[in-house]
Amino acid sequence: MHLSNPGEKSRLNLRTLPFPLKVLATCFLLTMGIGYLFGLAYLYLVDLEPHADQRLSLVEAVISKYYGKRGGSRLEAALAGAMGEYVTQAEKKQIAQWIKEGAGEAEFVNVQPILNQACATCHSRETGMPIPPLTTYREVSPYTAVDLGQSIKSLVRVSHIHLFGMSFIFLLTSFIFAFSEISSPIRSALIGIPFIAIWVDIGSWWFTKYEPAFAYTVIGGGVLMGVALAIQIGVSLFEMWLARPKGKGEGET
């Protein structure tokens, strides 16, 4: 089996990179790997752990995020999930009853003290935090409607950020990996796969908003992206620091 094409034997590779470039590439790859792990941790803490009390699976959590919980409001979903620890069961029932009865402005005075106590610490204009304020009826009422998941505006914002960000990350990790001594067809596939995974992952956010079954492709795209990044980083670091120099005639079996 040919590990490299004949025309590639004299090309620059990771094993023969100058030492300063090896250090630069290594620092970048390790930083990207650690950053990706923190991204997974953030995803778990924000999107998955809040659903643990409701015993939702990973697929159900993805559906809840993009498709929504169409049997209830977004405020109820938040109080049952991430914000649940800040209110008592009795307070949850009181807010749910207010929503069930139409979430009228006149009756808002009955639940406003609960929201001010439980939510205003973060959800207010005074904090300057990039989260919606929940202190007045006008601010709260949009979240008493049926939960339809992330809005189109939110999806557009998050999609363009991830498309630009992930593309630049894989541009640089793939550029480093391109100097690997793995055979050209395999190397080319491992360079293209991460970008396909990005398209599948982010594209599936939009499809899941209208069809919950696409939650599986959201997860599949994310897994494929992580595996591709791990392979690029692992192979690149191995060839730079651990691979032994090839002897004469080595490279064919």
Buried/exposed code over 46-74 (b: 16+ C-beta within 10 A; e: otherwise): ebbebbeeeebeeebbbbbbbbbbeebbb
Could you read off the pLDDT of 102-123 as tens digits, one per residue? Answer: 899 999 999 999 998 888 888 8
Compute the distance between CA of residue 82 and CA of residue 132 in angstroms, rounded to an integer.
14
Return the structure tokens found at 179. Answer: 């100097």
pLDDT averaged over the chain? 88
Percent of the chain with pLDDT over 70: 91
pLDDT at residue 167, as a whole number: 97
Residue 163 has pLDDT above 90, yes or no: yes
Question: Which residue in the block uniquely carries the two structure tokens 């040919």?
Answer: 2
Q: What is the residue extent of each domain of the chain? A: 6-47+150-241, 71-144
Q: Is the dihedral of CA 30, 223, 161, 77 positive or negative?
A: negative
pLDDT tens by residue, 233-243: 999 999 999 99
- Whole-structure pTM value: 0.72
